């Protein structure tokens, strides 16, 4: 499930309220963006059960936080507050619990106004690029960048910029 979420061609935004522990955190890590309430907490407590995170936690958490902070969480089972999660880049935004869904929805709406083709290419470049050596990731980025030049969305985006108006993208 986590791999399927991560590979979706549209952004998936997690809205996290409360405790995201173990599989819950791993599910959130599979999402492209994460918005948390100020009362959220994050942990991978499997070490306390004689286990390790088994749904991508050792890999995705390390890629999000870096080895040091991820290993500390994984090896101690310690929880991280939403403010710490924001500081380390685990979440994109922290809001009051009453604002969580409207903030996540607002972020989704902001992204939905942009070119679907560009969004898809960005997700592919970042997600697939992480699996590649840098030179191959850069090649993928160049190929995706070049493929967008002939699209109607690219022409519309350029025209809107020059005409100082908001673009209307159609995904073509």
Interval 10-52: pLDDT, tens:
999 999 999 999 999 999 999 999 999 999 999 999 999 999 9
Residue-level pLDDT at 171: 86
Residue-level pLDDT at 80: 95
Residue-level pLDDT at 101: 97
Active site residues: 26, 46
Task: Give first-to-last CA distance, the chain, whole Å.
Answer: 29
Q: What is the mean pLDDT of residues 116-121?
A: 94
Residue with tokens 């890590």: 29
CA–CA separation, 28 vs 24, rounded Å? Answer: 6
Interval 60-81: pLDDT, tens:
999 999 999 999 999 999 999 9
CA–CA separation, 32 vs 10, rounded Å? Answer: 9
Residue-level pLDDT at 126: 93
pLDDT at 114 over 90: yes
* Ramachandran quadrant class, 50 (left: phi over 0; alpha: psi -120 to 50; beta: rest): left
CA–CA separation, 59 vs 69, rounded Å? Answer: 13
Interval 119-160: pLDDT, tens:
999 999 999 998 899 999 999 999 999 999 999 999 999 999
Question: Are 34 and 16 contacting, i.e. CB atoms less than 8 angstroms apart?
Answer: yes
């Amino acid at each position: 499930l986590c791999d399927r979420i991560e590979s979706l061609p549209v952004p998936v935004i997690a809205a996290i309220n409360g405790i995201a522990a173990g599989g819950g955190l791993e599910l959130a890590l599979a999402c492209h963006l994460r918005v948390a309430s100020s009362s959220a907490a994050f942990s991978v407590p499997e070490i306390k059960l004689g286990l390790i995170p088994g749904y991508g936690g050792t890999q995705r958490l390390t890629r999000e936080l870096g080895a040091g902070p991820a290993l500390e969480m994984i090896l101690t089972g310690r929880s991280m507050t939403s403010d710490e999660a924001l500081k380390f880049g685990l979440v994109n935004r922290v809001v009051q619990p009453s604002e969580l869904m409207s903030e996540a929805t607002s972020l989704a709406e902001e992204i939905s106004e942009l070119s679907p083709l560009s969004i898809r290419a960005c997700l592919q470049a970042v997600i697939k690029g992480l699996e590649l050596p840098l030179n191959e990731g850069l090649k993928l980025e160049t190929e995706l960048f070049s493929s967008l030049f002939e699209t109607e969305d690219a022409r519309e985006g350029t025209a809107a910029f020059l005409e100082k108006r908001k673009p209307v993208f159609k995904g073509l």
